[in-house]
Amino acid sequence: MAGVIDLTAGQAIAIFGWQKPLRVLNWKIVFDRDDLTFKKLFYEIGLTERQLLKLQSDKGMWVTYKRLELTDILVLPLWKLHVTKDFHAHITNIAMLNLSHEFLQYTGVTFEDLVEAGLTVNLMMLLKLSLNAWIQLGLTVDFMRDMQDTQSMALFGIPKNLTLLCLKNGSDRVAYSGGCAGGPGWTG
């Protein structure tokens, strides 16, 4: 549902000019003007994340009408924008954002979502996540079963058999001698 927000005098002039500076802004005005994108409203005009959400609470409208771009998700945590469901982003575009697994989880992204976006074993390197991060996102043994030993070493610093063992146990910490210690997935 779209709402109305109050503007300061400076914001009103920046949006409407000196001739007829309205002291309120609504979604219809944003919709009617291609120049009123999230970037302009947030960075140039100085509207807050909460004001923008009040202006148009349906995040899909912002995306559909090209007022919001994939790169904007990092400054809008309250919106919980989903990289695959809201933006239909390909894994290479997701990787360029350098998102943490915590951010992905917070916004509801699962391993399956990433697979649907084009993730393969070879492309996992683009996301620079630890084995434990992948496990938390939902990485499965079935997905990794055909992985080569060299891929496992490159991704996690451990051989394939240990990677699969970690996945079966649901952690990068396996309680046996030699376990999953080592590599980028090991935390201590």
Highest-confidence range of 20-24, 101-105, 143-147, by mean pLDDT? 101-105
- Bridge partners of 26, per DSSP, are 4
Length of the chain: 188
Tell me, what's the pLDDT at 47?
96
Of the pLDDT bands very low, low, confident and very high (cuts 50, 70, 90), residue 17 is: very high
Tell me, what's the pLDDT at 186?
44
Those residues with Cβ within 8 angstroms of residue 145's Cβ, 6 or more apart along the chain or in another chain: 164
pTM over 0.85: no
53-81 pLDDT per residue, tens: 999 999 999 999 989 999 999 988 889 99
Written as one letter, the residue type at 78 is L
Q: How many CB atoms lie within 10 A of CB 79?
A: 18
